[in-house]
Amino acid sequence: MPFVTIQIAQGHSVEKKRELAKAVTDTIVSSLGTKPEWVTIHIDEFNRENWAVGGELHIDKHSGRHREKVVN
């Protein structure tokens, strides 16, 4: 029974998360030969203010690119 945790930044629509869950499930089923109903996926969303690369918060590095896409 595969259990997958996917960590992504907040701001993706429910539809995009549905597409992601379907694609990951299909890949696991194809790769492991398991049944889709045995695949569990946990999507863990985090705030961009809690993510840093190279000592700089992601929200500061890409504030214009992502700020408007955030879905509450």
**In the chain, where are the structural domains located?**
3-69
pLDDT of residue 61: 83
CB 7 within 8 Å of CB 44: yes
What is the tens place of the pLDDT at every residue in 2-33?
A: 999 999 999 999 999 999 999 999 999 999 99
Catalytic: 36? no
Of 55, 54, 59, 57, the C-alpha closest to 70 is: 59
User: Across-strand partners of 42?
Assistant: 5
Which of 1, 2, 32, 34 is the catalytic position?
2
What is the tens place of the pLDDT at every residue in 20-72?
A: 999 999 999 999 999 999 999 999 999 988 989 999 998 888 665 554 454 44
What pTM did the predictor assign?
Answer: 0.76
Q: Identify the CATH number of the domain defined by range 3-69.
A: 3.30.429.10
